[in-house]
Structure 1
């Protein structure tokens, strides 16, 4: 498998209690977890791949170890084959992945499991184990508080085929047999060459930080439109981790104070 980039168009559509739509452009890397890219020194600040930014484990774990540990914790067989992933690396020291996807194959190359890891702006993470569903979406109960405006009721329908020439991910949150929220991420495959990496820094500079700022802006917009905050209840996140390395200036904190310390993003 060749490492690839996907220049993405991400959309969010909220249907209740108000109708609200926004979209933005970004990009994601498609990688083999056993061969994470290591860019030349001059480009490394624009894409640093660190297993500690994903799932859970010790600082010495590889990304494969973290994915396989998650599968073991869920009580399913570890297929032992290739694991591919789609996410954003650290850019200029900052990392934020609202959604990371992992496709787990067996030794014959057959897709056995899909892992969808979500992260909110509090630094909390949760991962959902999905079956390979082909052209049909997989259904999973909502268990994680990603948005300050929604509780954990309802279920998701997740369409997340492994990307090839195109990327087409669709996630919808359903309550009372109606989609309350729909998100899509689509894009075309591009070679992860030096020219493309540099070009993306111009068209989507500091992408992880811009994504988090965009989510906070949308959250403020919803609050100003009168959407009430939901109670978090007794939910306990699986993990809370820092979004930036210790010792670095956290632009996330700057945005949180300048916009609203209570708002953690507009996704669901």
Structure 2
């Protein structure tokens, strides 16, 4: 692997300033865009990061924080082990096969104790520091979560494409009979996650987050606090506000369905990955 592109040479803690974008493409036209920032944290170095990054804590209170309990089930006390446990339940790794050793998470941090993460992404690396799996943790506003685990065919690639059927109820205005088409750029100097949701092979929704890495210092973290002080509640409030607007536009309410019995949906690597179906991000 090219050393310059090796994820292990990235900082164990990175901040990405960017935008979230959503656009519906069906008969109910709707669009939103707002500024956010995410952090990418190496879970194996989380405790040291908590001591070295100004105004940030892992499993403690601070201006910004990541709380492991927000992302794992009761009975676990280590988020890295929880992610490995989910992967062990997936179809990606045979019984007894080595699980990914290094795991990075991309998530919205808590601000003064508040956050909501509709999507957290775990980038999972093997013993050779090659990306071997991407785990998407999806949450809805009912406190439920589900995981989509994708095997990776080329761990050295900077972008990855995969797709799967929707298995977990998220939006009250989108039916379950849909398909997700993902494009993910591994977090380095920039990051991008684009999800084109289709129904009956027609575009339904484009959702994306794209961001650029910013310097991390006491001043930059304080600057984030002034720029994004409302982010912790803004994301959850925006979800309900946008849902209300969709209802006024005539979107049909979809009855909530029970989550899948398994905590993870598994998708084996595509030997011939390719671009996702077109989604208009303009």
TM-score (norm 2): 0.78
CA contact (8 A) 1:53 1:95 kept: no
The match for 1:203 is: 227
Secondary structure (helix, strand or coil) at the match of 2:243 reads helix
User: Which of 74, 98, 108 in structure 1 is aligned with 2:90?
Assistant: 74
The match for 1:244 is: none
Deviation, 1:237, is 7.6
Deviation, 1:123, is 1.7
Q: Return structure 1 stretches of 4+ with deviation > 6 angstroms.
A: none
- Write the distance in 2 (CA, Å) between the matches of 1:159 and 1:80: 21
The match for 1:52 is: 69
Give unpaired runs (5+ residues) of structure 2. Answer: 1-9, 264-282
- Write the distance in 2 (CA, Å) between the matches of 1:208 and 1:123: 16
Q: Aligned pair count?
A: 238
Alignment of 1:75-94 (within 5 A): 75-77=91-93, 78-94=98-114
The match for 1:65 is: 81
CA contact (8 A) 2:24 2:204 kept: yes
CA contact (8 A) 1:143 1:152 kept: yes
- Write the distance in 1 (CA, Å) between the matches of 2:124 and 2:199: 29
- Write the distance in 2 (CA, Å) between the matches of 1:155 and 1:129: 15
Alpha-carbon RMSD across the aligned residues, in angstroms, is 2.1
TM-score (norm 1): 0.82
The match for 1:112 is: 132
The match for 1:103 is: 123
The match for 1:166 is: 190
The match for 2:253 is: 229
Secondary structure (helix, strand or coil) at the match of 2:111 reads coil
Secondary structure (helix, strand or coil) at the match of 2:245 reads helix
Q: After superposing the two structures, state which structure 1 stretch, 222-231 or 71-80, moved more.
A: 71-80
- Write the distance in 2 (CA, Å) between the matches of 1:237 and 1:96: 24
CA contact (8 A) 2:160 2:184 kept: no
The match for 1:21 is: 31
Secondary structure (helix, strand or coil) at the match of 1:45 reads coil
Secondary structure (helix, strand or coil) at the match of 2:62 reads helix
- Write the distance in 2 (CA, Å) between the matches of 1:41 and 1:108: 31
Deviation, 1:141, is 1.2
Secondary structure (helix, strand or coil) at the match of 1:127 reads strand
The match for 2:168 is: 144
CA contact (8 A) 2:117 2:139 kept: yes
